[in-house]
Chain A
Amino acid sequence: MTMQEDHKDCFVLEGKMALPNQNFAGRLGSRFLIAIRDRKKIMGLKCNPCGKTFVPPREYCEKCWTKIADNWVELGTEGELVNFTVVRYGDRHLPKKPPYILGQIRLDGADTPLVHIVEGIDPRDVESGIRVKAVFAEKTTNTIMDIDHFEPV
């Protein structure tokens, strides 16, 4: 049996669902970002017993659980590119147009790498071990993008 249906009143309603989000940087994250934003300095947290310096900041040492939240140390704005990947796909949420290099940068004075974008070098030429330096953003946004990118020294 075939069905006859009248489609003359069918229509589509366009809708939009808004999802408000609030992302809190945390107390340590806020201090870390404010140092970048206002003083153009990258701060880390050092565990004195282990001698290990963490960046981005964390409240407790991952090895000995010492609370290190107040033991801020200033790191260099230069460091070594210890690892990287090349982002080759584009999407609206991504910060740059592909292809771009996402690197792990171990800053001078730090023991853990900071992930950020590396520019000023062709993705085909990049290799681990090169020295890079931070380029701070002119327009700040209270995010890690207040460091605009890293580039070869």
Chain B
Amino acid sequence: MTEYFGTTVADIFATMPKRFKPEEAKEVDIAIGYEATGEGGGKWKATIKHGTLKVETVEGELTGCKTTIHTDAETFVGVTLGKIAALDALSSQKLRVAGDPKFLMLLLPKIFTPYAAPAKKPDAVTARDIIATIAERFRPEKAEGVAMTIGYDLAGEGGGKWTIVIREGKCAVREGLADPLTVKMTMEAKTYAGMMVGTIEAVTAFTSGQVKIEGDMAAAGATAKYFLKYVVPGATEAEELISLRVINSIEQRFATGPVMGRWFAGIREKKFLANRCPKCGRTQIPPREICAWCRVRVHEFVEVGPKGVVTHFDIVYFASPDPLTGAVRDTPYATAYVVFDGATEREAITLDLKQEDIPRLKEGARVRPVWAEVTTGSYRDLIGVELDEEEGSI
């Protein structure tokens, strides 16, 4: 029996007696004829009389019906499930009613509980079922300005060849493979269905060679966000699990001491105050009470910078998540080792480089500081550095 939207026309009629509400139909006396054309279709007659219902299949002509409904099997299932609006089907002539359509539209919901597609086990869902739901799962708001054609070549039972066209905020599914395609994905229909219902992990399927991607890889990866997740029809809702999120906070106080205090006092004035060792002459950034090499007390402060030179740098493409929040910072980001003008060679300080400048970053590049709008004498005052290109040194 051919399925549409995960169910059959026959199942809709088979469940009719169960869905019938006799107490609502006491006053009703009507015979309704149904003709569903195409695969999985047929003719049925529902006779409702004083709270009783008789459903029969009809061979040949539908006779003795006050109202008859003529449509194709797919539209019939779609309208019954509410996947296709009845008014749209009527106005597009896909569904025709001989008799009074308005009367039917008011009567049927009253005397029948709505039909729901039978629950399917996740492994009984076929690729064809899932492809059939693509257009309704499309999220135009996510696909603004996207134009692509995605081809699926799915082998085996429940498979087939389809082209999904996304253009101008609309999505259409066509049988067969179009040419050209932005991306073509070839796999077993079973694999596709498994990935969509979540029993097969997409990354694993790809790396293990179960999925072949030809064309634009990035487009293949991006498709998921243009669609709502596929939900197996009739799947029972997951049980509610209780999980509480609590944020405990610990108050802290950090004392700077006189030397770091001086550094931050300088930062507030947008100055870099290093201190110079009386013995070796080295500048320390940030300053410290004792020269780390000579082990002597350091008293003299000197202003360095504010511009400097990048001696080397790291560009980070995969950021570790913040262990406290799980947040991952925007990548790529660059940490540059900067020696300020006037500072001793090799006394570099590590600073963030402005993200837009990363492609032009080179060793030896000149940089200047980027300050916060308001400087308060905090480590947040100095946001980082940016390339100082006016000097033409790059």
Binding site for B on A (CB under 8 A): 5-7, 9-25, 27, 29-31, 33-34, 142-143
Contacts and interface: CB of A to CB of B under 8 A. Distances in A.
Interface of B: 239-258, 261-262, 264-265, 324-326, 377-378
Contacts of A24: 241-243
A24 B240 CA distance: 12
A15 B253 contact: yes
Contact of B255 (A10, A25, A27): A10
Shortest 3 CB-CB contacts between residues of A and residues of B: A9-B261, A15-B252, A25-B242
A111 to B, nearest CB: 25
A34 B241 CA distance: 9
Contacts of A23: 243-246
Contacts of B252: 14-17
Contacts of B239: 27, 30-31
Interface of B is mostly: mixed
Contacts of A22: 243-246
Given A21-B246, A21-B248, A11 B264 contact: yes
A12 B325 CA distance: 26
A72 B296 CA distance: 74
A20 B247 CA distance: 4
A27 B253 contact: no
B324 A13 contact: no
B377 A5 contact: no
Nearest to A22: B245
B251 A143 contact: no
Given A18-B249, A20-B247, A34 B242 contact: yes
Contact of B241 (A6, A21, A30): A30
Nearest to A21: B246
A71 to B, nearest CB: 17
A20 B245 contact: yes
B258 A13 contact: no
A12 B245 CA distance: 31
Nearest to A143: B244
Nearest to B250: A17
21 contacts: A6-B258, A9-B265, A10-B258, A14-B253, A15-B252, A16-B251, A17-B252, A18-B249, A20-B245, A20-B246, A20-B247, A20-B326, A21-B247, A22-B244, A23-B245, A27-B239, A27-B241, A34-B240, A142-B242, A142-B244, A143-B244
A33 B258 contact: no
